[in-house]
Structure 1
Amino acid sequence: MNHLFQQVYKQKPVGFLYSLILLAVLSGCASSSANPEGGAPPVTALPVFKAAAVPASTHREYNAALEGKVNVEIRAQVDGYIDKIFVDEGAYVKAGQPLFRINDRPYQEQLSNASASLLAAQANEEKASLEVSRLTPLVDNNVVSDIQLKTAKAAYQAAKANVAQAQAMVSNARINVGFTLITAPVSGYIGRIPYKNGSLVGRSEAQPLTVLSDVNEVYAYFSMSEIDFLQFKDKFPGNTIAEKVKQLPPVELVLPDNTIYPEKGRIETMEGQFDKTMGAVSFRATFPNPNGLLRSGNTGKVKLSESFAALVVPQEATFELQDKIFVFTVGDSNKVASKPITVSGKNGAYYFVAKGVSAGESVVYTGLDRLRDGMVIQPQPISMDSLLKARPL
């Protein structure tokens, strides 16, 4: 053909026009020979699968703040200078172990003073008792007036009251002496210690001596939005929220480095009302912490999983148009039609379909960019089982 065109180009103008017409005729003949039937292009063969409901699972993650099961602020209950700090920050202590000692000399003196006052009060009580014993027979024999006996008995009662008051002062002084040695109320880990030896501390200090955390179990506090909470109410059995919480499956904790904490936890409680400012309600999950990996103040994500039977469609069998998700289904005469679907969730490479496609309906798997509504294809069946084996849910 190129050789013929070169020959035509060398000819005169009239002959050149004639030759162009001849080339057009020859080209038409060549096209007819390439597609002798002159009909539609050949039918495209594309893989097609039947949508099916399969066991699936999905999960939601909620940001969580971790706290020890017991977080105790250790505070001074008497005023004084710190004489001794027995522990270091981050140390593990057992219940009853000494933590701080406050100078106890002023309180020992108060105890000595109170003890002396008690002895004096007891002596006065004994003296008043003797006076009552002396006057009783004299009154009985009409030697003295009974007024003197009544006065002696009143003095005895006052002396007894003074003894009780003195005993209370001694007990109070002993308690204050005991407060100078601060011990751990529970077993746990010591937090930051902002004070040093010689620091003046007391009950009026805003900052505690330290915080002691019992982290054998850890609480993870997280919040659900109102929408998530309404979905939660519908998904799990039970007549009350408490019953629904008991039916929740174990939850996982995703650590800040995206690893999964090895121990599973359980959701135990939820708050009684929504936070008006956040529009959310708080839940509490409990995780065992036998190795002390988790500490108060850690963060993470509570991962709540849900198992169900769902109609699944691979994501590559879908396309998006104007914020909607579509698939191509195969109908009569192998004609394709686009259908919008409602996605309730996703897991890996699959969408969970709530509406739009029915179980057993044929869906085009790949090659969607070549399809238009009404086109005829040649289906190449593939099973959903083979897709799930290649890429499990």
Structure 2
Amino acid sequence: MNHLFQIFYKQKPAGFLYSLIVMVVLSGCASSSARSDGAPPPAALPVFKAAAMPGTTYREYNAALEGRVNVEIRPQVDGYLDKIFVDEGAYVKAGQPLFRINDRPYREQLSNTSASLAAAQANEEKAALEVSRLTPLVDNNVVSDVQLKTAKAALQAAKANVAQAEAMVGNARINLGYTVITAPVNGYIGRIPYKLGSLVGRSETQPLTLLSDVNEVYAYFSMSEVDFLQFKDKVKGNTIAEKVKQLPPVELVMPDNTIYPEKGRIETMEGQFDKTMGAVSFRAVFPNPNGLLRSGNTGKVKISESFPAALVVPQEATFELQDKIFIFTVGDSNKVVSKPIKVSGKSNAYYFVEKGVTAGESVVYTGLDRLRDGVVIQPEPMSLDSLLKVRPL
């Protein structure tokens, strides 16, 4: 080949030089084309090292609020509503009159039973006089003792009639007292569905009103079986009652996502699970000195959980697949590997990881949608501390 080039060069020096230049240019183009057709360089993605640090997470549970005492105010006697002393939403004290039922029939009943009592007492006095009259006669054998025994029996019957009449008078007085309905406790008046002149009675299904004592308010919420098992394992105590007492103070999140200023405490839990919902109910109590909370309000009970040292992973560095949470870690040769993690809690934009990643392991922060197992990346180290300064736990 070299011999042929020499011959060609000797015969066509100018043509050979031109051909050589063309070959060099084409060779450069081919090399450039080969580079452009090859694999692209690895993607540069931010990577941080997982680190353990103290933090606090929160769990929120939907809650329904009720006053500490909710009393249905119902009439004990039948009659027409004659007077309403209070208005809806008013605050009343124990013993304060609320309603009055027309009492004329019950006053007449009291008068009638009082007259019957007076007649019974007169008969008792007459029977006693008869016994007193016959006693000396029997002692002197003037009359037989059968008459005295008969008189004594009549006296006992008269006493029984007096006792019965007294009971009827007492019952009439009670019914007359029931015509004025008073507040059994301090609290706020609810809706009053009845108006003046309405016929009310013990057979009515709807109460006159609902009286709520809201100095303290109960928040009822349910915890799933999974959450309950975690609560049982993490909180100290030999019994459930002891564990409930060890729980920290809880917060109440209002419907507008503001935090109620007073902290509450969890007092009790139900003795068994609701089979239909797979949950168990708890009761938290919140002080309500300003009357801001009322029966029927809703909210969320917010329970805190402190971690002395837990691995922190930003939620942006995770993705979900089939109800599991995954991260991408960087292994040998900068190849990424997806790993499932077990989350023990979350706070703001972070997960507290219980299993799946170790301290110091490199985790990809963003760009997860472009990754799959085995892909090579170019790690760009970033500081987790700098991220925490911008978005604290």
CA contact (8 A) 1:63 1:222 kept: yes
How do 1:76-155 residues align onto structure 2 when only pairs under 5 Å count? 76-155=75-154
Structure 1 match to 2:230: 231
CA contact (8 A) 1:330 1:364 kept: no
Per-residue CA deviation, residues 35-93 of structure 1 (Å, 9 max, x unaligned), is xxxxx999998765432211122222111111111111111111111111111111111
1:287 paired with 2:286, answer: yes
**Matches of 2:385 and 2:374 in 1, distance apart?**
28
**Matches of 1:29 and 1:147 in 2, distance apart?**
146
Q: Which amino acid aligns with 1:389?
A: K
CA contact (8 A) 1:339 1:356 kept: no
| 3-state secondary structure, aligned to 2:243 | helix
Structure 1 match to 2:359: 359
Label 1:195 to 1:318 Cα distance change in 2 as closer, same or farther (>3 A): closer
Label 1:374 to 1:301 Cα distance change in 2 as closer, same or farther (>3 A): closer
**Matches of 2:319 and 2:178 in 1, distance apart?**
72
Shift in Å, 1:347: 2.0
Structure 2 match to 1:348: 348
Instruction: State, as a whole percentage, how many aligned pairs show the same letter.
Output: 77
Structure 2 match to 1:327: 328
1:249 paired with 2:248, answer: yes
Per-residue CA deviation, residues 204-256 of structure 1 (Å, 9 max, x unaligned), is 11111111111111111111122222122112111221111111111111111
Q: Which runs of 5+ in 2 are unaligned?
A: 1-17
How many residues of Structure 1 are paired with residues of Structure 2 in the alignment? 370
How do 1:142-181 residues align onto structure 2 when only pairs under 5 Å count? 142-181=141-180
Per-residue CA deviation, residues 80-135 of structure 1 (Å, 9 max, x unaligned), is 11111111111111111111111111110110111111111111111111111111
CA contact (8 A) 1:121 1:159 kept: yes
Structure 2 match to 1:24: 26
Q: Which runs of 5+ in 1 are unaligned?
A: 1-15, 35-39
Label 1:362 to 1:107 Cα distance change in 2 as closer, same or farther (>3 A): same
The farther-off stretch of 316-325 and 270-279 is 316-325
**Matches of 1:165 and 1:321 in 2, distance apart?**
80
**Matches of 1:17 and 1:121 in 2, distance apart?**
148
Q: Which amino acid aligns with 2:251?
A: E
**Matches of 2:279 and 2:266 in 1, distance apart?**
16
How do 1:36-115 residues align onto structure 2 when only pairs under 5 Å count? 48-115=47-114
Structure 2 match to 1:389: 389
Q: Which amino acid aligns with 1:356?
A: G
Structure 1 match to 2:304: 305
| 3-state secondary structure, aligned to 2:354 | strand
CA contact (8 A) 2:253 2:260 kept: yes
What RMSD in Å do the two structures reach over aligned CA positions?
3.1
Shift in Å, 1:342: 0.5
CA contact (8 A) 1:330 1:363 kept: no
Q: Which amino acid aligns with 1:132?
A: V
**Matches of 1:227 and 1:126 in 2, distance apart?**
78
Label 1:336 to 1:321 Cα distance change in 2 as closer, same or farther (>3 A): farther
CA contact (8 A) 2:120 2:161 kept: yes
Structure 1 match to 2:5: none
CA contact (8 A) 1:49 1:365 kept: yes
CA contact (8 A) 1:343 1:351 kept: no
**Matches of 1:102 and 1:222 in 2, distance apart?**
40
1:315 paired with 2:315, answer: yes
| 3-state secondary structure, aligned to 2:289 | coil
The farther-off stretch of 173-182 and 63-72 is 63-72
1:220 paired with 2:219, answer: yes
CA contact (8 A) 1:93 1:190 kept: yes
Structure 1 match to 2:264: 265
**Matches of 1:129 and 1:29 in 2, distance apart?**
139
**Matches of 1:199 and 1:208 in 2, distance apart?**
13
| 3-state secondary structure, aligned to 2:230 | helix
CA contact (8 A) 1:341 1:353 kept: no
Q: Which amino acid aligns with 2:348?
A: G
TM-score by length of 2: 0.84
Q: Which amino acid aligns with 2:330?
A: T
Label 1:371 to 1:140 Cα distance change in 2 as closer, same or farther (>3 A): closer
Structure 2 match to 1:6: none
